[in-house]
Each structure stands twice: as C-alpha cells, then as structure tokens.
Amino acid sequence: MTSKLERPAAADVATPAGTTATVLFMRMWAIAHVIHLVAADASALATPWSIATVGLAVVVVLRPDGRLFLAMMVAQAADYVAEMPGSPDHWAFILLVNLAIGLTMLVRRSTGPQAVAAAFPGVRAIALVVYGFAALSKYNTHFLDPVTSCANAIAGRASYGLTAPVQDTLLLPVASLLMETSVPLLLALPLTRRHWVRVAMLFHFTLSISPAFSVVDFTSALFAIFVLFLSDEEVDRVLAVFRAVASRSAIARDARRMPPVTAFLAFAVFGFIGYASPILAAALVFVAAQLYLLAVLIAALWTWRRPAQRRPFGRPMLVHVPVLVLAVLWGLSPYLGLRTTGVFTMFSGVQTEGQQANHLLLPTSHLTTWQEELVTIRGSNDPVLAGATKYDLAIPLLALRRMAQDDPDLTVAGIVEGRPVEFGPGEGQVDLAPLPYWQYKLLHFRPIPLGDKPFCSIS
C-alpha cells in the first residue's frame, strides 16, 4: 500500500507535505535576508530598511506568517532601492524572487502558504536564469587565462596559498566553468534534478567555507532556492533530520519555548553587536552562517541515498513573465552597453567596455556610449582610485561623474583617448558634470584591467 507521501502531489500545495516545504522555504529565505544584511553591515545595522528587514526576517524564522513574510519582502525592496546603484548581485537575485512572490500574492489576494507556493515555478525559472547568466559570463578570455582568472585568484586567497601548485594552470578555471554550467542545466532536467541539488549545495558550501573568502550571503540564498527543486517527500526527510538533531539540543528546546525572547536576542546580537566589536561580529556571523549551511548540507546528503520522487518544475504564472523578462534584461545589461555591476557577472572578469569585448559567445552591442568613454587612472585624491593605479585600470567616465557628486572635491588624473586629462573642480581642470538623478541611481560601472596584472572584480 502506497503512503500519502509516496503518491505524487498534483501541485506544490496540494498536500500537507507541500505546506511543510513552503514553510521551510519561508524560514530559509528569511535566514538568507538576515545573513546578507548582517554580513554586509558587519552586524551594525544603521538604516530603517535594513533594521526592518532583519527584524521581520528573524520573526518569520520563528513564526512563518504570510503577512510578516510579505512585510519582510517589502522592506528588502526598500533596502535595495536605498542602496542603489551599489546593491550586489545576490541582493538583486533576492529582489527578483521577492517580486515574483509578491505579485503572486497580489493576484491570489492572499498571503498564505498556498500563495507563496504558487510562485515556486516562477522562482525556479528566475533561479535558472540568474545562475545561467552568472555561469555564462565566465566564458571569456580573461577567466580562461591562468594569469588573470578569478578562479585562480580566489582559490589562492581562500586556500591561503595551498592551490599554488595549480595556480598557473587552467585546472581550476575549467573545473569551475564546467561546474557552474552544469548547475542550471541539470537542475532543469527531471532525471538529474534531485541529485544536482546536493552537488550544487556541496559546491557552494565549499566556496563559502574559507574565512579569507566567504560568500555565505549568496550561498544562503541559493540553499533556500535549491530546496525548491526537491520533492515534498525529500523535504520531509530533510526536516526529520533537523528535528532529530534539534530534539537533542537544549538551546533549540529553549528557543522554541520562548520565541519572543529568542527573536529579540537574535535581532539584538546579530543586528547590532558590530557597534561593540566589528571583529567579534564578523566571527560570530561567519561561524553561525557556516553552522547553518553545514546543517542543511548534511541533512540533504544524509537523505540522498534513499530513492524519492522527482519534483515537477511547474509552469510559471503569467504574472511571473515580467519578472523573468526583467531578470533577462538585467543579465544582458553589460552586453548592451548599460551598467556592469550587480548584473550576475560576479567574479567572471568579463569585459564589455571599450572596443575589445572578451566574451567568447555573447556579442556586445552597445546601445549607449556609457561604456565607451574610458579613463585610465593615473592618480587621484580618492584613496580607492589612487590604489587602483598599481593595477593599470580604466573606469567609465560616468562612474567618475557619479563619484564627484558624492565628493565635490574629487580630483582624478587620467588618460582619455591617449591624452592626459585632469578632472576636478579647480581652475584648469575638466569638470565632472553631475548625472541626472535616474542615472545616478541606476548606473554603476566596474573598473577594468588594461594589462595582464591579476585583478578580480567582485562584480
């Protein structure tokens, strides 16, 4: 006789197990919000948006209520807009997912678990689009050069030099490229979906484990999304592992008995301990995030060997189409001559600026001149720009104009089209004209290396 869990569910919300999977996602998604903001702000939250997002997310972890979940997503959107244009790639990814869930709630006129689960096919599609662009961006000559590849640079830093024997080879760049390419492809295929969830989790946990190069914020968001590719049956097994461990933990039992106290302490410690000690805050966030990610990974691996049904991908709703289109356009931004940071090209070394694009597959077609007016930095009174001189970097003129709006006394000595130019507010200097507000808020550009010196941009 087949049990209820062993029978295929018609949809994500057709069974109590589906609701269980939804609640797990809501909690993990809230944790991803917390990890991003406390890591980015070094546990010294300072804006009403970041404080509201973390506060609401902590409550959602303990009490996954749909209205609180919606309020958390609204606060995250406000924080993203407030941070623009400097909001990072994974924060844009989280925003796209939140938009899809929020629009689903709107058309369903409900904030309940059923409305959240109805967004999951769209969320899965968004995840594959975003991850696909991140993988695709690495198909460039810079990433596949042992000297300039971010893969070798990151591995050397994260391993504290242990990867030195392969540092001058293509082993790590090619392995990374193949692994990242496989994730969206094999999550899309039903036959490999449940297996590649575990492989992808293991890969990203490995990337996050070093304190010298920790990307726990992006990894925590991916872990929550990866769970959506597991069947309800497997989610129940994962939760059973969590419950078995939690039942033996006095801390977990106390947290459940006093949820308001737990929520307040978590919010106070993770949100504000950085004001007392930034070093202690960084260590606390790193250790807590690693323990959380390790627990999820172990539970997923522990339940892998048992056969299970495949999770149907599902069909995105019509309301998800605009969000998917936005995700595609955002990912295409650098190749269209628009902004070049926070657009799912992290650690790729892809270059679309100037006249020498380095991508091997995607053509570059500039719709604007924003990426074509480049300034080679030779000196500046700004310490960041001054430090860039040792790398032989160029930066789009619009980026300098934006910096001048924040720092009216900014001076920059550079080379433009082979001619020396000095920018600044003084007499005889070229004025850096202010940008229109929409450009100031929307556009952000990375520096690009001109020579063979290793330089790995975070975005």
State whether 136 and 229 are in the same domain.
Answer: yes
3-class DSSP assignment, residue 20:
helix
| Number of other CB atoms surrounding residue 209 within 10 Å | 16
Residues 270, 196 share a domain: yes
- Predicted TM-score (pTM) above 0.85: yes
The amino acid sitting at 416 is V
Q: What are phi and psi of 413, to 5 degrees?
A: -100, 130
Confidence of residue 457 (pLDDT cuts 50, 70, 90): confident
Q: Is residue 341 part of a domain?
A: no
pLDDT digits (tens, 9 = 90+) for 73-115: 999 999 999 999 988 999 999 999 999 999 999 999 999 999 9
- 159 and 73: one domain? yes
Q: Does residue 458 lie in a domain region?
A: no
- Res 316: pLDDT: 97
Residues 140-163: what's their mean pLDDT? 92
Give CA angle at 418 (439, 387), nearest 5°: 65
Domain-embedded: residue 336: no
- Tell me which of 245 and 330 has the higher pLDDT: 330
User: What would the pLDDT profile of 136-145 be if each residue is shown by its tens digit?
Assistant: 999 999 999 9
Domain identity same for 152 and 296? yes
| Residue 289 counted as domain residue | yes
Judge if 276 and 129 occupy the same domain: yes
CA–CA gap between residue 200 and residue 186 (Å, rounded): 10
Tokens matching residue 14 = 């057709």
Domain co-membership, 192 together with 77: yes
Judgement on whether residues 177 and 239 belong to the same structural domain of the protein: yes
Answer whether residue 433 is part of any domain. yes
Place of tokens 């998917």: 324
Report the pLDDT value the prediction gives residue 364, as an integer from 0 to 100: 92
Whether residues 321 and 390 share a domain: the answer is no
Flag whether 454 is in a domain.
no
pLDDT > 90 fraction of the chain, expressed in percent and rounded: 77
Same domain? 278 vs 368: no
Q: How many CB atoms lie within 10 A of CB 459?
A: 18
Residue-range definition of the domain harbouring residue 403 = 353-449
pLDDT for residue 124 = 98
**Tens digit of each residue's pLDDT (9 = 90 or more) over 351-385:** 999 878 999 999 999 999 999 999 999 999 999 88
* Number of compact structural domains in the chain: 2
Provide the phi-psi class of 414: left if phi over 0, else alpha when psi is between -120 and 50, else beta: beta
* Two structure tokens written together for 262: 């737990």
- 339 domain-assigned: no
380 and 310 in a single domain? The answer is no
Q: Are residues 378 and 241 in the same domain?
A: no
Residue 326 pLDDT level (bands cut at 50, 70, 90): very high
CA trace torsion 111, 115, 116, 117 (10° rounding): 160
Mean pLDDT score across all residues of the chain: 90
| Residue 210 forms part of a structural domain | yes
Cα(132)–Cα(380) distance, integer angstroms: 38
Report residue 304 as tokens: 């892998």
Tell me, yes or no, whether 51 and 170 share the same domain. yes
Mean pLDDT of 279-294: 94
